[in-house]
Every structure is written in structure tokens, then in C-alpha cells.
Amino acid sequence: MIAEKNTILLITYDNWGFNQYIADALEAKGHIVKHINFHNFRYKYPSFGHKIFNFFTKNTGVLNLKHVHYNNIILKELENIEKIDVAIYIKADFLSQKTIKAINKKSAKSVLIISDSINRYPKTKKILSLFDKVFSFEKKDCEKYNLLFKTNFIYNYIDNIPAELKYKVFSISSLDNRFPVFQKIAKRLHELKINYKIIIFTSKKKDDPYLEFSGKTLSIAENNAFLAESEIMLDVHRTQQQGLSFRVFESLGLQKKLITTNTDIVNYDFYNPENIHIIENAEEINIPNSFFEIPYAKVSKELLNKYLIENWVDDLI
């Protein structure tokens, strides 16, 4: 337990559920945490005309009715909070400066965590100066905007590797510009006669002989069930993104091997070529048979400690 209890306001757009682990870890340390997850704030258009209006205004950067809705509810909830020791934001680019300033006025300290590249969400640049601390997993952004570097975290750790596993390689992803790379990797795994499962989420009708498609996103519990049944995890990073995705830290916590397209992983202290194979060119995928055959080389708990969620949260407060 800690000597002093802090009242912490955690404000996130938690569409996958990862940020609840942050709230749980802070509460486990004795802090009082209010988690406002504005992904849960459902907005219903008053009319079809409002929907058409929002389509044009959000794409031109003028106005987003959903974002206005998020901000209004957050400001309403803020009225019931008297004191905040630390306000922690994730995905604050969804929020207006008015909302952020109102929260920070009640907060002794404000912290922003950026787990995407600023190139992907350029509106983030306009709010950086509003926070006492800003962390980013993107090294280039840290250098360019003078931010503090902080990776993603391990939220699920096991001591023992299961003896029997259902899939050799597993991955799950939304449909975006990484799709052609997934296609090439899946085709290559098929040629190598590797048992794999790669799921792509999309509301569009898609067909590919080497991939599975789903119109329903999985919960973290469902995702973790697939991870538990798999020996090797596949990570395809976004274009122009250097920061390591959650897939990397899931593989570390679950003691799984990793196939990744992110070449910057060689610069991390846990990198081991026995555990991590890097695909540098999707047009020329060469994964040696030995990578699938050699057992996982265990990473010491001492090395992983700084990435475990219970330790990762310490420098936020």
C-alpha cells in the first residue's frame, strides 16, 4: 500500500478495454480512481439531416457532433467531482481545449499519454501545452515535441508456458492500410504449411483465401483466449509508426514468440532474435524453419518488471 491516497481522474476513449487495466492497477495501489471512458457515451443523431451535416463538418475539421456530445457529458460529470490530485488523459485529441482546461483547473497535476503517432492524430499538437507531463510511445515524437518516452505495458503475465497450443501463429487486426501486408504474410504461412489464424475486423464484405474476416470486434477476454491458444503472435505495425504495439507486450507477458514488421524492436532491452523474427520486406518474406521449431527463450522477470502494469503506472502520479 502507498502512504497517501490520491484521487485520480482517468479520462480515456477505451474502445478495446486496455485502459481499464490502468485504472485497476492504480486502485490496487490504494488510489481512488474515477474512470471516464467516453467510448461508452452513445450519441444518437436527432435526424438524418444531422447525420449528413456531421459527415461533412467532421471531414472538414469544422465540427464533430459526436465529439461535442463527449465533451458535454464529461463536463457534466466534472460537476460532481470536488477535487482531483491527478488527471490522466488517453486520446485527449477527442476533447476540446475548454474541457481539458476545466478538468485541469480542478486537478493538481495533469498527465497525457499518447499511444499513437502525432502524424496520425495531428490535432494532438494543439493541446500538448495544456498538460504538466506528456508521455508518448513514439520516439520520433518525443524528440520533435520534447515529450517523455513511455512504451505500452504488459497487462497479462504468466509464469508457465502451456504445453499444448491450438495455433502456431495468431493475429487480430482491424481493416486498414496494413491489409496487403497481412495478405502476403498469411499466404507465406500457408505455403510454409504453418497452422495460423489471422482475423481481420471489417463491416465491409471481404474475401481472401488466406484470411478470416469478422464483423464483430472481440472483447479483451475473447482476444486473450485466442492468445492463450497460440504459440507465436503476429504484429504488423502501422506505416510511419515506430512505437511498439500492445501485441509486442502481450507476447512478452504470455511468453510467446513474435513475428513483427517493426524493425525498431531491435533497440529494446528484451529483443532476442530467437524469440522475435522481423519481416523487413513484405515482398520478400523469409522466416527460417528453425524459428518455428526452437523453444521460446524465457525473458527474466527482472527485465520485464518495468513493463508490467503494476510498475508501469508509478510515474504517472
pLDDT, position 99: 94
CA distance 121 to 61: 12
Look at the pTM and tell me if it is higher than 0.85.
Answer: yes
Low-confidence ranges of the chain (pLDDT < 50): 1-2, 43, 50, 53-57, 59, 62
User: By the 8 A CB rule, do 309 and 23 touch?
Assistant: no
3-state SS record for 274-316: CCEEECCCCCCCCCCHHHHHCCCCCCCHHHHHHHEHHHHCHHH
Take residue 93 and report the three cell numbers written for it: 485529441
pLDDT, position 1: 44
pLDDT, position 50: 46
CA angle 42, 205, 167 (to 5 degrees): 90
Query: Mapping DSSP to helix (H, G, I), strand (E, B) and coil, where does residue 123 land?
Result: helix
Q: How many CA atoms lie within 13 A of 286 on its CB side?
A: 2
Closest C-alpha among 57, 75, 77, 73 to residue 65: 57
